[in-house]
Chains A and B, each alone.
Chain A
Amino acid sequence: MPPEQDKISRDASSTTVPFYNDPKKRSILFQIATLLMVGLLAFYLISNTLTNLDKQSIATGLGFLQKESAFEIGESPIPYSAADTYGRALVVGFLNTLIVSFIGIIITIILGTLIGIARLSSNWLISKLAAVYIEVFQDIPVLLQLFFWYAFFYNILPSPRQALNPIMGVFLSNRGLVFTVPEAHSVHKYMAIALVVAGVVIYFLRRWSRQRQARTGQSFPVFRVSLALVIGLPLLTWAVGGAPTAMNVPALKGFNFVGGTNISPEFTALLLGLILYTAAYVAEVVRAGIQSVSKGQTEAAMSLGLKPGLVLNLVILPQALRVIIPPLTSQMLNLTKNSSLAVAIGYPDFVSVAGTTINQTGQAIEGVALMMVVYLTLSLLTSAFMNWYNKKTALVER
């Protein structure tokens, strides 16, 4: 449509056409009506709720976060006791959720990739086993799997007094895995800082080496240097800090092991259940990703004289990742959300702690709202990060 004509027709519509036949005005009207309906519904529900809360004299607000919780939590990454507040209890639950999701996601990606590759293996046995694994674990509800693994754990492992002791300082019993850790020392903090520094240095090193390779064609042994940095820097800090060697060795005292670090069977069962379930999906994602790269790409890369490792690294993976990352993101989110099923097998994650809080305070609305906000934030953060990463790896159209 030429611009003049467009103008004429618009003028015409504004003068002759009644407002309900004008798409623009009609759309505004429709939107106002929709918003009004949603608003009215919200108002109705909120006013009902307020009346009900008032009538039943149920407390409102987040004031309970400051009150003493009076219940214990089985495992906590930060110091916590029944004398602490509900707020702190919820933080403990949140950290527990983060821990299990983070570790779960990392192991799931590794395991899922392995199984996805196994599914494509030329070895018939391996390929079929991978197929069976994928089918079985995808088709059974994750909650049922969690129940099963938890029962499995406490049923086969012995009690602490007969704990298995495969290597010195490591004990395996139905109370979990207990192992020796170094005695707390101030130098550990600096070692952690050194590790972060190493990470930053590696990041810049990689950039520099890539640029150099693009410029001059010379490659730089990034991997070996990185490894040396990751191990060397903290080790150096440790040596400078006086090289403390005191160890915190777990010992059976009373009923349980005292000292060392403990990984509980609840945590292990939850982690295992989530990993095995999600890895089946990730395997399918990875398989689809690899299959999406046409064979010609491999052949072309080989004919350029690249080594198999480089073919995978420089040609196959960058292309496969583009296909893999979006569905992989949603699987990672699923794992995080499924970690809320911890409540069924006794791992004190956020939903479990919030559930107890709801019971003790009677403030269901605040409790459920907190659950939703926490998971929503986690989900949005993860997808934001993955979108950023996805954009980075996406094909640059010419």
Chain B
Amino acid sequence: MKRLSFVFAMIAVFALIGSASAGTLDDVKAKGFVQAGVNGDLFGFGKPDEKGVWRGLDVDTARAIAVAVFNDPDKVKFTPLTAKTRFTALQSGEIDVLTRNCTQTLGRDTALGLDFCQVNYYDGQGFLVTKKLGVKSAKELEGASVCVLPGTTTELNVADYFRANGMKMKPVVIENTAELAKAFFAGRCDCLTSDASQLAGTRAVAPNPKDYMILPEIISKEPLAPVVRHGDNQWKDIVNYSVLAMINAEELGITSKNIDDMLKSKDPKIMRFLGVTEGNGKALGLDEKFAYNIIKKIGNYGEVFERNVGVNTPLGIERGLNALWTDGGLMYSPPFK
């Protein structure tokens, strides 16, 4: 009896221990799904809905990678990670790609054994205040209590900003996004600082959104990008071009709705992009139609943006820096040839 249960236990243990070797793409293909690390608490970027289905911009990025490899947006599994656990999870091989609104910095790119891929959201840190305070600029926040998430670049940026301007602050550091927002609305802090995208979301969920305003100062640059392990160039290329395919499609005017008409297009750029003229897929080690599949199943960058964080969502974020370069933004895709 005992021995039998021991054998069962060992089998169970081995079933739960995974082992990775060779290239990430081979591993992913072998196990049949992409394991992606996501936020879990961040509305619009990574959060399960009331049925437990994952939604958000970062989630869609991970799904795009799954489509590129498997042509199936559901062949991806999500691991919710905290700020503390995210990089270890990637380093140890527990996840294949980290799409968890991570800011690219030199330190992280070099010291942690990681590589940052194509930016999927350009963000910057700002301040949310109640209008009652009568503050018009972040420079007037001398002595303020500041609500901030711990262990993030945000916490350092705000300390730097106050020091640079010779002001004092009192941080209120709460681990959980929802708890932090609630504390702020209840008036525990004078201002809440975070990436501008999250501020919009936080403001949207306020009991009375009109009582709050975002201050004009953006005190940092936050390029948010998917992250992979250092040294696996093929996998990095796949993640890069999965994101870029969505941007390129928007540049070319291809959407999930009109894509089948576009297949008939005689524009060589579009033909190459959609895999009608072959070559791109093979170069990446993917199906020739990977870009077609991504746009068909996920949508182009504009669609993904509008669906998750755009003006018609509770977040209501304008494209701003995340508009195409042709519209004055920073989203720019190299040619697919």
* Residue positions of A touching B, CB distance < 8 A: 52, 55-59, 70-75, 81-83, 147, 150-151, 154-155, 158-159, 174-175, 253-256, 258, 265-266, 343-346, 348, 352, 355-356, 358-360, 362, 364
Contacts and interface: CB of A to CB of B under 8 A. Distances in A.
A150 B158 CA distance: 24
A208 to B, nearest CB: 50
B112 A154 contact: no
Interface of B: 83-84, 87-88, 91, 110-113, 133, 141-145, 150-152, 155-156, 158-160, 162-163, 169-176, 179, 182-183, 186-188, 190, 230
B193 to A, nearest CB: 12
Nearest to B187: A159
A83 B170 contact: no
Contacts of A158: 187
A364 B144 contact: no
14 contacts: A71-B159, A72-B159, A74-B170, A82-B159, A82-B160, A154-B187, A174-B187, A175-B145, A255-B141, A255-B145, A343-B175, A346-B183, A356-B155, A356-B173
A363 to B, nearest CB: 10
A149 to B, nearest CB: 12
Given A174-B188, A255-B133, A345-B174, A70 B159 contact: yes
Given A58-B113, A256-B144, A256-B145, A72 B169 contact: yes
B14 to A, nearest CB: 18
Contacts of B174: 344-346
Tell me what chain B mostly uses at the interface: helix, strand, loop, or mixed: mixed
A74 B150 CA distance: 12
Residue among B141, B145, B172, B230 facing the most chain A CB atoms (10 A cut-off): B172
A159 B91 CA distance: 44
Given A58-B112, A82-B159, A348 B173 contact: yes
Given A55-B113, A82-B159, A175-B188, 6 more contacts: A70-B156, A81-B163, A82-B163, A150-B179, A151-B179, A154-B183
B151 A360 contact: yes
A360 B172 contact: no
Contacts of B182: 151, 154
Contacts of B91: 52, 56
Nearest to A74: B171
Contacts of A356: 150-151, 155, 173
B151 to A, nearest CB: 3
A367 to B, nearest CB: 10
Closest 7 CB pairs of A and B: A359-B151, A56-B113, A346-B174, A154-B186, A82-B159, A159-B187, A154-B188
Nearest to B170: A74
A266 B172 contact: yes
A174 B156 CA distance: 25
Contact of A362 (B87, B162, B170, B183): B87
A68 B150 CA distance: 17
A151 B179 CA distance: 8
B95 to A, nearest CB: 15
A254 B173 contact: no
A58 B111 contact: yes
B144 A255 contact: yes
A284 B51 CA distance: 43
Contacts of A174: 186-188
A356 B133 CA distance: 30
B171 A73 contact: yes
Contacts of B179: 147, 150-151, 344-345
A59 to B, nearest CB: 7
